[in-house]
Structure 1
Amino acid sequence: MKDLVIVGAGGFARETASAAAAAGWQVRGFVDDDLALHGTVRSGLPILGPVDSVLTSDAAVVVCVGNPRNFTARQRIVERLGLPDGRWATVVHPGADVGAGSTVGPGSVLLAGAVLTADVIVGAHVAVMPQAVLTHDDRIGDYATIASGVRLGGGAVLATGAYVGAGALIREGVTVGAWSLVGMGAVVLHDVPPAEVWAGNPARFLRKL
C-alpha cells in the first residue's frame, strides 16, 4: 500500500477517500486551508493541516475540490502546488470498469460504477462520479468533471475543465468546450462552445461564463 493525502475535505474528497481505501491506498487524511477544520475528523480521517503541507510530505496526492459554482478550483490548486506527475495519485475504485485501450491520467478519480468501455482517454485531474458511462473513443480533457449518471456517446469530447451535471446525456461525436457547464439532466445534441452554460432537453444556451 502507498500513502495518500487528499486535498479538500468536502463530499468529493470523502468519496475519494472511500474509493482509495477500497483500491488499497493507505489514506493518511485530508488537507484544507480552512483553519477551523484543522485537527478535526471527517469520515474517520483527520484534517492534517493546510494544503501546502503536502509539499513537505512523501505521500501521493490527489486534489478533490470543486462544484458547479466553483469548478476551476481544482486547476488552481494543482498549479499552485506544482508537484511532478509522479506525486499525483490516480484513484480508481475497484468497482469501476476501465475497458481495453482506455487510459486515466495522473490525479484523476473514478468512483464506484464508472465505466470506460473501450479506447477512452481521460486526462489529468479529472473527476468521474459514480455510475457515469464513457463509451468508445471518448476524449476527456484535464480538469473535467463528470457527475453521477452521465452518459457520453461514442467519440464525445469534453475539453479542458468542462463540467457535465448529473444525469446529462451527451450525443455521440459532440464536443463540450473548455470550461463550459452542462446542467443536470441536459440532453446535448450539438457542440457547446467554450465558457458557456447549457441546460434543458434539448440543451440550449443559457449564458456566458
Structure 2
Amino acid sequence: MTGLVIVGAGGFARETAQAVADAGEFKLLGHLDDNPALHGTEVDGVPVLGGCDLVHELTHARVVICVGNPRDYAARARLVRRFGLSDDRYATVVHPTASVSETSAVGPGSVLLAHCVLTAAVRVGAHVAVMPHVVLTHDDVVEDFATITSGVRLGGGVRLRQGAYVGSGALVREGTTVGAWALVGMGSAVLGDVPPGEVWAGSPARRLRAADAPALDELATPTVGGPLT
C-alpha cells in the first residue's frame, strides 16, 4: 500500500485523514505542518511528523495538501508553488461514499469528502477541495485550487474558475461562471456570473466588496494539469 502524507493538521486535513482511513487506498503516514508546536504530537491519533518541507525527504510518499479557509483560500496554491513537485507525487482522495460518474474526472491533489456527487461529464481540476454533500451536475467545470464547501449545489454547465471559493449551502444557477479567486458567501443563490476577485453573498447574490485577493503571482498561477474544457 502506497504511503501518504497530508500537508496541514487543521479541520480539513483531519477530515481528509478520516476519508483516507475509510477508503483504504493509501497508508497514512502522518501530517506535515509548519507550526512547530504540533511537531511530535498526534491529531486524532495521526502523528504530526514535522514541517511541510519534509515532502522533499519523504520521496516514497504521495502528498495531498489540505489547508485553507475563507480568510486565506490561496494557501494551497502557495504551497504547490513552494514545493515544486510533479503532478504524479500528488494523491487524489475520494471518500468511498462519494459518487463519481464514469464520465467525470478528478485531478491530482484533489479531495472529495463524504457523499459528494459528480453526475455526468464533470471536470474537477487539481488541488480542489470538495466538502461533504456537494452536488456537481452535468458538464460542470471546477478549475484548480477551487474550494467547494459543504452542501453546495451547482447547476449544469457551471464553471468555477481558478481558486474560486463557494461557501456552505450556496446554490449556483446553471450556465453561470464564478470568477477566479472570487468568494461566494454561505447560503447564497448565485443567479448570474460573479466577476473575478469579488465577494458576493445573499439571495439573490450581490456584490459586497473586493475580495482580500492573494498576491498577483498567485492569481497568475498556471493551471496545474493543463486547461480544462
TM-score w.r.t. length of structure 2:
0.91
Letter in 2 for 1:162: A
Query: Among residues 193, 203, 206, which one is paired with 2:205 in the alignment?
Result: 203
Letter in 2 for 1:90: T
1:99: Cα distance to partner? 1.1
Letter in 2 for 1:86: D
Summarize the alignment of residues 171-190 of structure 1 with structure 2, pairs less than 5 Å apart: 171-190=173-192
Residue-pair matches, total: 209
Letter in 2 for 1:142: D
Letter in 2 for 1:11: G
In the alignment, which residue of structure 1 is the partner of 2:159?
Answer: 157
CA distance, structure 1, for counterparts of residue 160 and residue 166 of structure 2:
9
Deviation string 1:98-120 (CA, Å, 9 cap, x unpaired) is 01310000000000000000100
1:161: Cα distance to partner? 0.1
Letter in 2 for 1:14: R
CA distance, structure 2, for counterparts of residue 172 and residue 102 of structure 1:
18
Letter in 2 for 1:45: V
Deviation string 1:60-107 (CA, Å, 9 cap, x unpaired) is 000000000000001000110011111000000010000131000000
SS of residue paired to 2:49: coil
Q: Tell me, which stretches of 5 or more residues in structure 2 are unaligned?
A: 212-229
Query: Among residues 135, 138, 143, which one is paired with 2:137 in the alignment?
Result: 135
SS of residue paired to 1:28: strand
CA distance, structure 2, for counterparts of residue 87 and residue 185 of structure 1:
35
CA distance, structure 2, for counterparts of residue 47 and residue 178 of structure 1:
33
CA distance, structure 2, for counterparts of residue 170 and residue 178 of structure 1:
15
CA distance, structure 1, for counterparts of residue 164 and residue 41 of structure 2:
33
CA distance, structure 1, for counterparts of residue 102 and residue 52 of structure 2:
36
RMSD of equivalent CA atoms: 0.5
Q: Tell me, which stretches of 5 or more residues in structure 1 are unaligned?
A: none
In the alignment, which residue of structure 1 is the partner of 2:14?
Answer: 14
Deviation string 1:146-195 (CA, Å, 9 cap, x unpaired) is 00000000000000000000000000001000000000000000000000
1:22: Cα distance to partner? 1.3
Summarize the alignment of residues 41-190 of structure 1 with structure 2, pairs less than 5 Å apart: 41-57=42-58, 58-190=60-192
CA distance, structure 2, for counterparts of residue 98 and residue 2 of structure 1:
22
TM-score w.r.t. length of structure 1:
0.99
